[in-house]
Amino acid sequence: MQIEAKPVGNLSAGRTESDISEVTLGRSGLRVLVEALLVDGHERYAVELHFDAPRGFRYLDEGDLLRYWRSKVFSPCAHLFEITSGGWLDQERQCEGMLNTTDAVGTCREWFICTSNGCMNVLSVNEPLVREFHDL
């Protein structure tokens, strides 16, 4: 199944070295912090993503996601994508008995947090709140 995705939010100014530095799950939701350094090494920035209604998430090293990179739909200048088809959500729905409760809650969407190291797929009913911090 072919992956289809679209970037969400601002695109960074150029290629970056980046990673997920924090993941917190609590009563207020799921918080993910991405820290990045532009390749020229002159600007550090962070992107905070908050999902108030997460239904599930997975964290994988970028090397374990070769099918994603081969799809060529992920720009190296974005950290957040909405996967509209062919991602983890569609894979889980193909397995009998998976995501029955999640599908009953509402229209679940899939988000992909993309870095040059760790990556996360997040299943959530709502779009995440995104905040950027520059010149750290």
Q: What is the pLDDT confidence band of residue 89, given thresholds at 50, 70 and 90?
A: confident
Instruction: Give the pLDDT confidence score for residue 66 in this predicted structure.
Output: 87
pLDDT band at 30 (very low <50, low <70, confident <90, very high): very high
Q: What is the pLDDT of residue 35?
A: 92
> Residue range 84-100: average pLDDT?
73
> Rounded mean pLDDT of the chain?
84
Does 81 have pLDDT greater than 90? yes
d(CA 33, CA 120): 11
Query: If we measure between CA atoms, which residue out of 13, 74, 82 comes closest to residue 51?
Result: 82
Predicted confidence at residue 45, as pLDDT, reads: 86
Phi first, then psi: what are they for 84, rounded to 5°? -90, -20
Stated pTM of the model = 0.86
Kindly report the CA angle at 28 between 12 and 121, in degrees rounded to 5? 45
Question: What's residue 102's pLDDT?
Answer: 61
